[in-house]
Structure 1
Amino acid sequence: MPAPFRPARELLIQYARHHRDRRNIATHLVGIPMIVFAIGVLLARPTLDTLPTPAGVLALTPAVLLWFATTLWYLTRGEFLLGLSVSLLNGALIMLGAPLADAGFVSWLAAGLGLFVLGWVIQFLGHYYEGRRPAFTDDLIGLLVGPAFVTAEALFSFGLLRPLHDEIERRAGPTHVRDLAFPA
């Protein structure tokens, strides 16, 4: 298995090789945030402790611990703007999911599992268009790279991280729409 601490640039290029069809990228822009949100919902229980902050009290949950660990990972991959952006996005999704932990057990579990499964269904639909299996089937670190990839795609759309975008396109190829009538 490849090392999990490779630079973001290399991780994104490897991931992009499985994600060149624009429809697949579009499904990931929906599915991956939905999955991160669902993980935030599911891991918002139990509250392990509370911490005072300038903004109030932070409930220390498995979701917050996971966010902290992944933030350290993203920020140490060598693309600071990307690492910061994906960490802030993931943090927002986790915070938005936290109130669902206060719902009844069945509502909390149904929302978390339902959104998690729906997010994956959307992902696999994208891979149908791509004609390739998901990147995590070759390297489990792809589960962490996915949120960085969709964040990078959003940043690219604003003209940010142009050198990274150009290198991904040079090494993984340009995006396209695969002809499903005549798949390669």
Structure 2
Amino acid sequence: MSKLVHHLTLYAAYHRNPHNVATHMVGIPMIVLGVDILLSRPILPADPISLTPAIALSTLAAFYYLGLDAMLGAIMTALLVIGCWMGIEVAQMPTGLWLTAGGGLFIAGWALQLVGHGYEGRKPAFLDDIRGLLIGPLFIVTEIVFALGARRNVRQAIEKRLTKPSERGHHGHDLPS
């Protein structure tokens, strides 16, 4: 089994309720954009592009995603670039507005996650595996890709693992059937 299927299966086990998935579809992008905004200061002028902590972290994340899957990694990389660009744009605003925008998105996004996990009746995945913080955005993109009818083989592999009663999840937890 690929690392992609492994990580997405572990994450999906915590996100079976459609209401939870829906809150994540909105909340995770808000969190990622909030982080991009907050980490877009300080800006280190460089040529051809200025550097920020957001760009450094997004570059590392992009390599991680590309290592899991070329196509999904390319989509994630494009989204990370857009997030960094938006972060830099907001970071150029007055400090109060920059902090309000970044902090507001971050807090509101996490509030949505808590609401979603209330529907799910299960704690967030990252509490058992910190990689869930990286897999969450990939899960959202993958769910959209699945909804568009692409990557059926990946979806089938994940669903098969989630419904196998003998499969064990991360840290020995049973995956839901």
TM bucket, shorter chain: 0.7 to 0.9
For the residue of structure 1 that corresponds to 2:149, the secondary structure is coil
Matched with 1:156 is 146
Letter in 2 for 1:11: H
Choose from 16, 27, 46 the match for 1:50: 46
How far apart, in 1, do the equivalents of 2:24 and 2:47 lie? 34
Flag as ranges the 4+ runs of structure 1 deviating above 4 A. Answer: none
CA distance in 1, matches of 2:147, 2:160: 17
Q: Which amino acid aligns with 2:63?
A: L
- Output the TM-score relative to the length of structure 2: 0.88
Report the number of matched residues: 162
Cα RMSD for the two superposed structures: 1.2
1:93 is matched with 83
Amino-acid identity (%): 42
Is the Cα contact below 8 Å between 1:39 and 1:94 reproduced in 2? no
**Alpha-carbon distance in structure 2 between the residues aligned to 1:49 and 1:9:** 39
TM-score, scaled relative to structure 1: 0.84
Query: Which secondary structure does the structure 1 equivalent of 2:46 belong to?
Result: strand
Displacement of 1:90 in angstroms is 2.3
Instruction: Confirm or deny: 8 A CA contact 1:51 1:60 kept in the other structure.
Output: no
Q: Residue 31 of structure 1 contacts residue 123 of structure 1 at CA under 8 Å; is this kept in 2?
A: yes
Matches within 5 A, 1:24-173: 24-52=20-48, 58-77=49-68, 79-173=69-163
The Cα shift of 1:51 comes to 2.2
Partners of 2:31 and 2:58 lie apart in 1 by 14
- Structure with the larger strand share: 1
Q: Which of the two has greater helix per residue?
A: 2
- Give structure 2 stretches of 5+ with no counterpart: 164-177
Report Cα offsets for 1:35-61 as digits up to 9, x if no partner: 111111001101123222xxxxx2111
Post-superposition offset of 1:104: 1.1
Distance 1:51 1:168 in 2: 43
